Structure 1
Amino acid sequence: MTKIPRSVASELSFALHAAANRMVRLHKPFLEPLGLTFSQYLVTLELLNGAPLSVGELCTRLDMETGTLTPLLKRLQAAGVLTRTRDPSDERRVLIDLSMHSRGMEEELRGIPDKIRVACQLTADELETLRLTLDGLGRPLADS
């Protein structure tokens, strides 16, 4: 494997960090009226795509550790965004589902990606290419 010069790797790290921060800032004006943080929005979107989910399934889909996700889920439950219940078929599992209130915000939540696309000033094809590139960086085939 070819080694990347140190300065190029650090420049990539800074660029990714800056882009991630900008993405969070771009979402903020759309999420604040809904009472959601960026992380809470990601959880909510994943649940809109198929709930209920176990905590483990949600961790896998969001690439988050249980210790990070559980406090986030508890805050969302306290805010009335989601419900946490024991799986009747396996009491060890906790199932996460959206509340009726959150389901009422579905259209608004699903509209945010289009607003972000406009704010990024990228075409749909450019955004898809960028997403595929980032997916490749975020989920490498093998550890190096």
Structure 2
Amino acid sequence: MEARDPLALESQVCFALAVASRSVIAAYRPVLEPLRLTHPQYLVMLALWESAPLSLKEIGSLLKLDPGTVSPLVKRLETLGYIDRLRDPDDERSLAITLTRRGANLRAEAEKVPVEMMKRLGLDEEELVTLHRAMTRLILASESG
């Protein structure tokens, strides 16, 4: 039996994750287009639908992105009329990111996204839960190592 090459591209977890990430994000593109959202903007909206108002720092922490990456996403969402950036009354140096009525109403349309993505990816709910658990363990392991 021939020994496997430990550096073979197709056996690398990092390669599989990178390709899977790009492929899944690309599959989201046509589903998010009617909402006028990119995938990163969709993630910001998910965070806000869950617990608005949030500061830029809080959004960055939830999404594991630096504030410099979050800021242009928030500005674009504001341009779309989905969010408002307001001075935090408790801390004038901080902006509170909150949903506009339009942004809050967009949630009803966005509720169709997970079901559509399951169809596009050919995965059922149980498979997605299993995949999510594995990815979460991987994220935690990479953060602690």
- TM band (smaller chain): 0.7 to 0.9
1:31 matched to 2:32? The reply is: yes
Superposition pairs of residues 3-82 of structure 1, within 5 angstroms = 5-7=6-8, 11-82=12-83
Quick check: 96-105 or 7-16, which moved more? 7-16
| Mapped partners of 1:48, 1:90: distance in 2 | 22
1:137 paired residue number: 138
| Mapped partners of 2:62, 2:144: distance in 1 | 19
The TM-score, its normalising length taken from structure 2, stands at 0.87
Give percent identity, aligned residues only: 36
| Mapped partners of 1:17, 1:23: distance in 2 | 10
2:113 paired residue number: 112
Report deviation, 1:138.
2.1
Matched position secondary structure for 2:41: helix
1:122 paired residue number: 123
- Structure 2 gap segments, 5+ residues each: 1-5
- Structure 1 gap segments, 5+ residues each: none
| Mapped partners of 1:16, 1:79: distance in 2 | 32
- Contact between 1:82 and 1:96, CA under 8 Å: does it hold in 2? yes
| Mapped partners of 1:75, 1:10: distance in 2 | 39
Larger Rg: 2
- Contact between 1:45 and 1:109, CA under 8 Å: does it hold in 2? no
- Contact between 1:30 and 1:112, CA under 8 Å: does it hold in 2? yes
Give the residue type in structure 2 aligned to 1:104.
Answer: N
CA RMSD of aligned residues (A): 1.8
2:96 paired residue number: 95
| Mapped partners of 2:48, 2:120: distance in 1 | 25
Displacement over 3 Å in runs of 4+: 5-10
Give the residue type in structure 2 aligned to 1:36.
Answer: L
2:3 paired residue number: none
1:86 paired residue number: 87
